[in-house]
Structure 1
Amino acid sequence: MVDSLFESLAKVYEEYILNEQDRNQIEKAYILARNSHQGQLRKSGEPYITHPVAVAIILANLGSGPNTLQAALLHDVVEDTSVTLIDLSKEFGKDVAFIVDGVTKLTKLEFHDAPSQADNHQKMLIAMAKDIRVILIKIADRLHNMRTLDSMPPENQIRIAKETLEIYAPIAHKLGLFVIKAELEDRALKYAEPAKYYEVSRLIQSKKDEREESINNITGVIDKLLKENGLTNYKIKGRIKNIYSIYKKMYINNRSFEDIYDLLAIRIIVDKVESCYQSLGLIHANFTPIPRRFKDYIAVPKPNLYQSLHTTVLFNDGTLFEVQIRTKEMDDVAELGVAAHWAYKENKNYSKEREQFEMAQKLKWYGELLKMSEDIDDISSGSEEFVESVKGDILGANVYVFTPKGEVIELPKGATPIDFAYRIHSDVGNKMVGATVNNKIVSLDSELKTGDIVSVRTNKSSFGPSESWLKIAKSNHAKHKIKSFLNKKNAEILAETGKDIILRELNNNKISEDITDEFVREHFSKNGVRNLEDLYVEIAKNNISAKTIIAKIVGTEINKEQYLQRQMEKTTRAIHSTSETGVIVEGLTNPQIKLGSCCFPIPGDNILGYVSKVGGIVVHDINCPNVISLDQKRKIEVYWAAKVDRKFPTLLKIIGPSKPTFLYDIVKIVNASNVNVAEMNSNTTQSLETVIKLKILIEDKEKLEKLIANIQKVSDVYSVERDYR
């Protein structure tokens, strides 16, 4: 059943996955993926199955678990084949289906230079916060796509390359996936900045033999030095910096190629921490260290868990080179990052929740991402502000300061004590009255530098931040929190004003009835008003009239259930009052035609006619399950008229969470898309999923696809598809 392609994957994962049942499930996932993608080709002309296998191999080399590998093999089947999430859940379990669903939703995102770009990136980052395995598969997916990018059109190459440099490579860096990050950067630069890529590549190649000889000489000298001083259990590796790293130093930091000190790097891997410092002493004692080029990431690890000693020294022949010294465990983390810490271990039950918690504890930035994701509803500016916050404050952070207790806090370049305070906690920022840096009192606009020890002074009686703080803060996170505080403060004043206005109006009309939050949600939720406080603010702003509220209290407005019922009645009348089908049968001027009630075809669908025994013609969508069983001799060719001036009924099935508001959220989206609901049915499954079946009235398939796209934007939606009876 399996072949050489699968064997190339099995060879990797069988080194650490020994359980026979797990191995069988991975093989089963491969067979389903291979059969489902049968006949599909990539742009390169290769069979499509080569892609999910390549993605799985990348993840297997990171030590990923059986469920992750199954999901990697299956990550495109829901998007590109007839396999459903329900099928995957039955065959491989809910966990695998959950991962595939997360990857599928990310794959569906179309990346363009438009406002929707931020919304797409937001969804990706939130998916990453929900389950790190989703983004690991997506990074592996992107890596293989970058390896095969030559087959794509030039405009796609540039777009994908820029997106890789902007989002995927920084995420790989934050996860400590150094090898993957370096390859993503180099491959992306080749398409994003081809002239500069080839210039740097030429400079590296121009003296390649000379540099390799230099590395061999240095390695030999260091090897002899370590042996003479009693060190035995070690390895020495030499390398030249990757192309993108040199490009950044040359074109972003404006340095000449000759002035890049750490172009050559020697890595010494020893057996224990004490040997790291012993090796460092020997290096400094025998070579000239360059001032301010020593960094101890063992005592103070980087936020992505990286640990190593770094120093730059001058060799006897005048060559500058960087030396990195670390243990074998540290080297694994340096190469594989987060994957080295959470690599699959046999006989240990996987817990997504425990892994997420441990990751948030170990990776400070990941905890920040979780907090930002949970706080998403509070971000008034929407997806763009969220994405900019993550990109600027998390992915782009490069200043590392300390709390008085020695905890490392990561901040963007140019950050001030205000940014530090809000990163600790919103309340600390709101009550901040001063700060000290390295035990010296500083102004709030002082720029923090890596290594600073920062302490914040607070006062419970503080009036809170002022508008001027927005100009001082550098992080989007701090600016958002300051805006939230100021908006809340302004809202409190407006709420008091609005409350006075409505109370006067109630008194004037001799109405004693209390206005409740439920009343507000029922009548004003479409205005974005969620509670009584919001209503008071909107009244004060003159966005809602007090007279409108009085009218609703005395009953001039119908409730939402009545509204939905009227909408359905109106739609039903429209269905029954229109008889033209819009279907043409060659050679017949006035045929008796009926649209199949099993599939409800609409203009744009591929259709066929079936001559019934009573003489009429029933039109089916060719994807209708009933078509297979129809008598082949009775099938005839039919097609849609060029212009059909009517709406058609069709069915949709939507699956989401068991949530009281889910049904109304969906109907609201449908109505907002100017599509009428004719019938509606909702039930909750044993797996606590809500299944909504809608009969709608719509013009054609293009409009239907737009509606489906709008429904998919609802974050709670698991799936939406045409429904056949």
Structure 2
Amino acid sequence: MREDFLHLLETIKHIKSTDEAVRLLLLRINTPLINEAIEFAIKAHQGQKRKSGEDYVIHPILVATITSYFSDDENVITAAILHDVVEDTNYTIYYIKDKFGENVANLVEGLTKIVEIRQSSLVPSTSNEKLTKSAMTFRKMLLASIADIRVLVIKLCDRLHNMLTLDALPPHKQKRIAEETLVVYTPIAHRLGISTLKNCLEDLAFKYLLPEEYKKIDVYLKKHKEEFRLRLNEFTQKIQKLLLKEGLKDFEVKSRIKHYYSIFLKMQRKGISIEEILDLLAVRIIVNEPIECYESLGVIHLNFRPLISRFKDYIAIPKENGYQTLHTTVYDGNSIIEVQIRTFDMDKNAEFGIAAHWKYKLNTALPNVKWLEDMKFDEDIEDFYELAKNDLFSEDIVVYSPKFETFTLPRGATALDFAYMIHTDIGNKAIGAYINKEKATLLTTLKTGDIVRIVTGNEVIPRCSWIESLKTSKAKYEQKKLCRQKEKEINKKLALAILKGIFDINEIKLRALIKANYLCDSISKIVEDKNFLKDVVKRLYKTMRKRNLLYFKNINIKEHEFGNIRILTNKQISDISFNYCCHPKFGDKILGLLKKREVEIHHRFCNNAEKKIDKAVFVEWIRNTQNRYFLVVTLQNKKGELAKFISFLSRLGIFIHSINLGKESNNCKMEIEFDSKEFNNIKQKIANEYNIIEFISTKDAYNG
């Protein structure tokens, strides 16, 4: 990270007055428009205070100061100064437009939070209003960024200043803001290629989310600071002499210790302590021309033994965010040091990302911002927020089409995710895949370097039970859309089968009865709503009596319970069975096929069941608030790790019924209990800290 930027942040942290904030900003950029914006912001925010007790206007002025590091455009810096005016004062966006112009107003509008939810937003009544507002504001900001990506750069600078001043807030708010920063905003900084912001935001979020882990790394690095500096200086001098000897003259060699959060991630991925990390140290060689990068690489590899598995060429194949650098790792005596090699333009591009193309005229790859356009903005608002976070907060892999086009996907992505990246039609009609010329299923997990070919058919195929296995929001969204349509068709068919099972009449007569009672549009509701089913049965029965169609007496609907399944029917039911063709799990949508006095349970989207639907019964899961689950996780083979994990679960409000440690592995199997409404939240929190092997309800049909 650049020393001048760190120095700027240190200065910002110690500013406590409006006058100091104004002086610092005007030292960086001083124009009539900037002065006018400062005066207006001071007037607009007059009397407002931050939680720390400081004048509120200090915040937007310092956000503008950080923004000025990444952009010299006075409209962008003006928008940063004014970014909270519309949200926190009585001035409207129309006033901003009249006074400062359309360009500034559009940026401010994109950064203004949604304070009130309007009825036209069609927010579900079950939504958490605070979460919904956050999600809608986030979506609004991303939509504005499609038109002008500068909105995101200002927002990242705003978030950075908020993180620098987080001490003024209570611990629960610190953690919430830090988590959002790590999950949403650092990935955005990464996708825009702005490593300077990304690394700062990561380390600040890490400090608040995991203070003990942060402190351990901090203590270790400070304790060994001199030792590391000596090793880096020694290695740097060797490189400089070697490069000069080979005729390279105009170059720089910088050295650094890796930043805290990247060290922590390495510890987590490898299950090791900081003392066991071999490559904490890194140097960067910066040259004039791309060809000199490869010449420098040759010098390094001829004089230091490389770890070939760690070599990456991002110059020939840039990352999606425009990043271009050669990466290699070499032995230097007892040390292992990472070496990065790039040109001066590539260095600016790596540090400033998309902002580098505003500050400098660079001949480097631009970040690909197609991920913004690919987001499914018409999805339900809370689903959109979760899908967006899922897409953003994931490590990337790079795979290739047979024509060697590159595609960046989240780690864990499947061949079907890749198919949707190519085109929606290819994803919808995919029937198989070839990975590295070998036949593979569409759910095969891809890895970096795979060459993937998708085989398509003629029909669109909904794969409703696969949605949770997909990783990209695009694939999930498109499959959900197909499945919603398929579900409508199945529910209509199933509704007729349920009524057929109750009344024992043919479909032609049944349809006539439904039409006579004006139920054609709503009949499929009986599949989900047992009270509506009872009401429909009464209405149809009444019509049948009028038409003298009754040749039986018993239409008394009764409830039958078998384990965690409830059945509604007027028939005698002796037993239920689960069909193993589709493996329905507790909570999945299901259907029940009537077979004399038995009911066969299938997943609602089971292809075999759809073909066999004739007579059916209403079925549903019996839900209790407190549910038991089987949880299997991998623990590190370290003293105290189990105690630490038990303590972690207790803090989440989880009751532990039993623990079983694997003898041949580090797997720990537990039976646990908690409020089922918290399942997704708890699963995510455990997944953030531990590798989950299995996490299923004990009520699943196949666990007894």
Mark the CA change 1:107 to 1:327 in structure 2 (over 3 Å): closer, same or farther. farther
Which of 78, 85, 91 is the equivalent residue of 1:83?
91
Q: Distance in 2 between matches of 1:173 and 1:29?
A: 30
Structure 2 partner of 1:101? 109
The match for 2:264 is 247
Contact in 2 for aligned 1:369/1:390 (Cα 8 Å): no
Equivalent in the alignment of 2:232: 215
Instruction: Give yes or no for contact 1:51–1:144 (8 Å, CA) kept in 2.
Output: yes
Q: Percent identity?
A: 42
Which SS does the other structure have where 1:43 is aligned? coil
Give 1:550's aligned residue.
none
Q: Which SS does the other structure have where 1:267 is aligned?
A: strand
Aligned equivalent of 2:50: 42
| Separation in structure 1 between the aligned mates of residue 228 and residue 406 of structure 2, nearest angstrom | 37
Q: Determine if contact 2:34/2:74 at 8 Å carries over to the other structure.
A: yes
Q: Determine if the alignment matches structure 1 residue 300 to structure 2 residue 284.
A: no
Match of 2:283 in 1: 266
Which residue of the other structure, out of 374, 381, 388, is the alignment partner of 1:383? 381
Per the alignment, residue 368 of structure 1 pairs with 371
**Which residue is 2:409 aligned to?**
411
* Alignment partner of 2:134 out of 120, 141, 160: 120
Could you say if the C-alpha distance between residues 540 and 329 of structure 1 is closer, same or farther in structure 2, counting changes exceeding 3 Å?
Answer: same
- SS of the residue 1:144 aligns to: helix
In the alignment, the residues of structure 1 paired with residue 54 and residue 464 of structure 2 have an alpha-carbon distance, to the nearest angstrom, of 58
1:180-203 per-residue CA deviation (whole Å, 9 max, x = no partner) reads 111111112222111111111011
Q: Deviations over 1:344-389 (max 9, x none)?
A: 88xxxxxxxxxxxxx9x9544x3233232xx433x3xx23322232
The question of 1:481 aligning with 2:478 is answered: yes
Query: Separation in 1 of the partners of 2:483 and 2:47?
Result: 59
The Cα offsets for residues 185-229 of structure 1, whole Å up to 9 and x where unpaired, read as 111222211111111101111110010111111111111111010
Structure 2 residue corresponding to 1:319, chosen from 324, 327, 335: 335
- Alpha-carbon distance change, 138 to 494 in structure 1, aligned in 2, over 3 angstroms: same
How many pairs does the alignment contain? 489
- Equivalent residues of 1:402, 1:408 under 8 A apart: yes
User: Match of 2:29?
Assistant: 13
- The offset of 1:162, in angstroms, is 1.8
How far off is 1:477 after superposition?
Answer: 3.2
Structure 2 SS opposite 1:205? helix
1:285 aligns with 2:302: yes
Shift of 1:68: 1.4
- 1:61 and 2:45 correspond: no
**Structure 1 pair 464–255 and aligned structure 2 pair: CA distance change class (3 A):** same
Match of 2:522 in 1: 538
Write the distance in 2 (CA, Å) between the matches of 1:13 and 1:260: 43
Q: 1:490 to 1:402 in 2, by over 3 A?
A: same
**Alpha-carbon distance, 1:310 to partner:** 0.4
Q: Which segment drifts farther, 257-266 or 239-248?
A: 257-266
Contact 2:110–2:144, Cα closer than 8 Å, also in 1: no
CA-CA distance at 1:3 after TM superposition: 6.3
Alignment CA distance shift 1:471-1:55 (3 Å): closer
For the structure 1 residues 107 and 136, does the alpha-carbon distance in structure 2 shift closer, same or farther, using more than 3 Å as the test? farther
Secondary structure (helix, strand or coil) at the match of 2:439 reads strand
- Cα distance between partner residues in 2 of 1:448 and 1:242: 29
1:79 is displaced (CA, Å) by 2.5
Structure 1 residues 100 and 463, CA gap change in structure 2 (3 angstroms): closer
> Matched residue of 1:311: which SS?
strand
| Whole-angstrom CA distance in 1 between matches of 2:358 and 2:513 | 63
3-state SS of 1:450 partner: coil
Task: Please say if residues 495 and 536 of structure 1, whose CA atoms lie closer than 8 Å, have aligned partners that are also in contact.
Answer: no
Q: Could you tell me how far apart the structure 1 residues matched to 2:298 and 2:271 are? A: 33
Q: How far is the alpha carbon of 1:421 from its aligned partner?
A: 0.8
Rounded Cα–Cα distance in structure 2 between residues aligned with 1:540 and 1:41: 56
Aligned CA distance change for structure 1 residues 459 and 330 (closer, same or farther; 3 Å): same
**Partner Cα distance (2:520, 2:321) in 1:** 46
Whole-Å separation in 2 of the counterparts to 1:503 and 1:114: 41
Q: Any residues of structure 2 matched to 1:134-145 within 5 Å, and which? A: 134-145=151-162
Q: Secondary structure at the match of 1:376?
A: coil
TM-score (norm 1): 0.62
The answer (yes or no) to whether the contact 1:306–1:334 under 8 Å persists in 2 is: yes
* Structure 2 contact 401–451 (Cα < 8 Å) conserved: yes
CA contact (8 A) 1:332 1:340 kept: yes
Q: 2-side partners of 1:395 and 1:118: how far apart?
A: 20
- Deviations 1:78-133 (CA, angstroms, capped at 9, x unpaired): 23333222221110112322222221226889xxx967436623531442232222
* Matched ranges for 1:20-39 at <5 A: 23-39=31-47
Q: In the alignment, residue 341 of structure 2 is paired with which amino acid?
A: I
Aligned residue in 1 for 2:693 = none
Tell me the distance in 1 between the aligned counterparts of 2:224 and 2:271: 21
1:13 and 1:63 in contact (8 A); partners too:
no
Gaps in structure 2 of 5+ consecutive residues: 1-17, 118-126, 497-506, 537-704
Check the 8 A contact 1:438/1:452 in 2, yes or no.
Answer: yes
Separation (CA, whole Å) in 1 of partners of 2:87 and 2:476 = 39
Change over 3 Å in CA distance of 1:464–1:79 after alignment to 2:
closer
Aligned amino acid, residue 315 of structure 2: I
- Offset at residue 537 of structure 1 (A): 5.1
Structure 1 SS opposite 2:28:
helix
Q: For residues 59 and 501 of structure 1, what CA distance do their matches in structure 2 show?
A: 71
User: In structure 1, what residue type is equivalent to 2:177?
Assistant: I
Contact 2:488 2:524 in 1 (8 A): no
Separation in 1, partners of 2:319, 2:508? 55
CA contact (8 A) 1:491 1:537 kept: no
* Cα drift, residue 428 of structure 1: 0.4
- For residue 282 of structure 2, give the secondary structure of its aligned residue in structure 1: strand
Q: CA RMSD in A?
A: 3.3
Distance 1:129 1:279 in 2: 43
Correspondence list, 1:250-649, <5 A: 250-315=267-332, 317-343=333-359, 363-364=367-368, 366-372=369-375, 375-377=376-378, 379=379, 382-460=380-458, 462=459, 464-470=461-467, 472-492=469-489, 538-541=522-525
2:680: which partner in 1? none
CA distance in 1 between counterparts of 2:509 and 2:417 reads 39
Distance 1:222 1:465, change over 3 A: same
- In 2 relative to 1, CA 473–73 (structure 1 residues): closer, same or farther, beyond 3 Å? closer
Asked if the contact 1:261–1:312 (Cα under 8 Å) also holds between the matched residues in 2, the reply is no
C-alpha deviation, 1:163, in angstroms: 1.8
3-state SS, counterpart of residue 45 of structure 1: coil
Q: 1:441 to 1:56 in 2, by over 3 A?
A: same
Give yes or no for contact 2:186–2:202 (8 Å, CA) kept in 1: yes
Assess if the C-alpha contact under 8 Å between 1:419 and 1:475 holds in 2.
Answer: yes
Distance 1:194 1:502, change over 3 A: same
Residues in 1 aligned to 2:62 and 2:43: alpha-carbon distance in whole angstroms: 17
**Pick aligned residue for 1:130 from 113, 125, 144:** 144
TM-score (norm: length of structure 2): 0.64
Q: Show CA shifts across 1:453-476 (max 9, x none).
A: 11111122x362444544653444
Letter in 1 for 2:353: G
By how many angstroms is 1:138 displaced? 1.7
Residue aligned with 1:225, SS: helix
- Give the CA deviation at 1:73: 0.5
**In the TM superposition, what is the alpha-carbon distance from 1:343 to its structure 2 partner?**
4.0
Contact 2:398 2:409 in 1 (8 A): yes
Partner of 2:248: 231
Question: Taking structure 1 as reference, are residues 494 and 9 closer, same or farther at Cα in structure 2, changes over 3 Å only?
Answer: same
